[in-house]
Structure 1
Amino acid sequence: MSNVAFLGLGVMGYPMAGFLQKAGHSVTVYNRTAEKAQRWVAEFGGSAAVTPREAAEGAEFVLTCVGNDDDLRSVVLGENGVFAGMASGSVFIDHTTASAQVARELAIAGSEKGIGFVDAPVSGGQAGAESGQLAIMCGGSQADFDRAQPVMDVYAKAIELFGEAGAGQITKMCNQICIAGLVQGMSEAINFAEKSGLDAKQMANLVAKGAGGSWQLTNRAETMVDDKFDYGFAVDWMRKDLGIALAEAKQIGASLPVTAVVDQFYADVQQMGGGRWDTSSLIKRLRHFQKD
């Protein structure tokens, strides 16, 4: 068992850090809102630190799960950042969904201090984090990945290394591209079924058993029919992620025409006041704008 620091106790990080403590690691947490860190300690044990640097001091592994590139830089770099507190030979594992560029940037900054680096964004949503069933997509050296994997195993159902630093983030972009297209297709199918007089739940249940099946269809179709959208990853977060993917696509010369369109559909949902609805709320856009 290891001394571990975990920074960022949002809907994902809070249970992930809990799994580490329950597995027997000695966990120190840091959160920008200190009250949440104290609540985590009261629930799981461990300890809370006042600064990222203090959390990282003495840790063999430091893990982060924060909001975006800027949030990540703010907790990692500078005199109070985790790199200032980490010792040579320790490993930094980043679960933030961020750009590949910031992953490469931090990998270089860490290597200059003898710190290993793995970018390790996750998929599975809040439910996956709470059940310890996340899919983790990693970038980094084989040696750093081999050291980090046993730590991540406590909240993962699948972990794979895809290449050097940044490869995990690129894989997460692929994940979000897939979800965007799937949810728009589901929205159109459910709306079409409803307009045709079919039982949309019955349709989705049958289609899910055939070639049109997917995790999204199995887990979100019924709630989409019921117009319920408080089951996970928010539209605001999805737009952030799709923006990262679209920017990367522009840089490498990849075409993402459907993703670009669905991103704008999500912008419409935001305009409808749905920024905190989950990503399956694309169907509300169809219901709002369609002509009877």
Structure 2
Amino acid sequence: MSSIAAQPLSVAFLGLGVMGYPMAGHLARAGHRVTVYNRTPAKAAQWCAEYAGTAGPRQAATPREAAEAAAIVFCCVGNDDDLRSVVLGEQGAFAGMAPGAIFVDHTTASAEVARELNAAAQALGLQFIDAPVSGGQAGAQNGQLTVMCGGDAAAFAAVQPVAMAFARACTLLGDSGAGQLAKMVNQICLAGLIQGLSEAIAFGGKAGLDMEQVLEVIGKGAAQSWQMDSRGKTMIADQFDFGFAVDWMRKDLGLVLDEAKRNGARLPVTALVDQFYADVQQMGGNRWDTSSLIKRLK
């Protein structure tokens, strides 16, 4: 958790999945009064029970109710449609937020929906920050996420010290949509990197090398990466029941490829690796970690 201090606020958190649950917990432990909403109410009740000793955890029946007293509404749900469902409409968060309140979306979604919701927020006198995260479940649990933001600079300045409860870095990268576009850059990098690491480990294994020893050696040179350090040994051991799921990666790469069609970027490797992940899904690996790309090569 960051040492940056934030004045305790009334905040809301919508979506208590593998990322949102610990992120909301860090906000509570930092002294904020957190109201939570989750589509499955039992999960929200569990969260409130776990954080009963903090400043005032509360469960809301709707996003609107959760947002009513919140200076900042944080959100982390599945996709564009999930996001619209908790933001818009009579029971959506925007309907409950007070003028000047800020909505911070940590969902990995499209830049298009970020711009759409930013425009809707502005029409209501609200602020919207798109703020997808990198660091996975472990980063959320450890309060070490990297947060990529797009939106108004003044709104970001109000959000940043609060978000540092669960982040190691929280950076404004441009106007509305810039956070989502930066997350797409992140996923493009990962796709090629994981495929390269998979091919390297498979090649070394076929060549009869002790791949744990090889990775230890080359991990001290130019080939070093977080993926190699954190997933190399588990890839060798055929262990994939953890981490960032293949289904989620395919959702993210779908966003990337859609955006590339709009902006004219050429992404031949990313498109190929997306199809490799489709192969892993066909193998039953929907919930395997993204490092399971190597399964295609063994």
What TM bracket, shorter-length normalisation?
Answer: over 0.9
1:174 paired to 2:181: no
2:135 maps to what in 1? 124
2:31 maps to what in 1? 24
| Deviation at residue 274 of structure 1 after TM alignment | 0.2
| Equivalent runs, 1:22-61 vs 2, <5 Å | 22-45=29-52, 46-61=57-72
RMSD of the alignment, in Å?
0.5
Q: 4+ residue runs of structure 1 moved beyond 2 angstroms?
A: none
Q: Deviations over 1:189-228 (max 9, x none)?
A: 0000000000111111111111111111110000000000
**Unaligned runs of at least 5 residues, structure 1:** 288-292
Q: What is the rounded CA distance, in whole Å, between the counterparts of 1:230 and 1:18 in structure 2?
A: 24
Report the residue type matching 2:208 in the other structure.
G
Q: Which has the higher contact order (CA 8 A, sep 6+)?
A: 2
1:268 paired to 2:275: no
Q: How many residues align?
A: 287
Secondary structure of the equivalent of 1:87?
coil
2:75 maps to what in 1? 64
2:99 maps to what in 1? 88
| Equivalent runs, 1:5-16 vs 2, <5 Å | 5-16=12-23
| Deviation at residue 231 of structure 1 after TM alignment | 2.5
TM-score (norm 1): 0.98
Report the residue type matching 2:271 in the other structure.
A
Q: Deviations over 1:159-196 (max 9, x none)?
A: 11110010000000000111110000000000000000
Report the residue type matching 2:19 in the other structure.
M
Secondary structure of the equivalent of 1:241?
helix
Q: What is the rounded CA distance, in whole Å, between the counterparts of 1:253 and 1:127 in structure 2?
A: 34
Q: What is the rounded CA distance, in whole Å, between the counterparts of 1:151 and 1:263 in structure 2?
A: 35
- Percent sequence identity is 66
Report the residue type matching 1:42 in the other structure.
A
Report the residue type matching 2:175 in the other structure.
E
1:162 maps to what in 2? 173
| Deviation at residue 141 of structure 1 after TM alignment | 1.1
TM-score (norm 2): 0.96
Q: What is the rounded CA distance, in whole Å, between the counterparts of 1:261 and 1:205 in structure 2?
A: 29
**Unaligned runs of at least 5 residues, structure 2:** 1-7
Q: Deviations over 1:137-157 (max 9, x none)?
A: 000011111011011001111
